[in-house]
Amino acid sequence: MSGSITINGHERNLSQFRKLSCYIMQDNQLHANLTVEEAMRVAANLKLGKDMAKDEKQEVVSSGTWFGQL
Nearest to 41 by CA among 52, 23, 19: 52
Task: Give the tens place of pLDDT for each residue, 34-54.
Answer: 888 888 888 888 888 788 888
How many CA atoms lie within 13 Å of 41's alpha carbon, on the beta-carbon side?
Answer: 11
pTM: 0.47
One-letter amino acid identity for 53?
A
Task: Give helix then strand counts, H and E, for the chain.
Answer: 4, 2
Q: At 69, is the pLDDT very low, low, confident or very high (cuts 50, 70, 90)?
A: very low
- Residue-level pLDDT at 30: 65
- Residue-level pLDDT at 44: 81
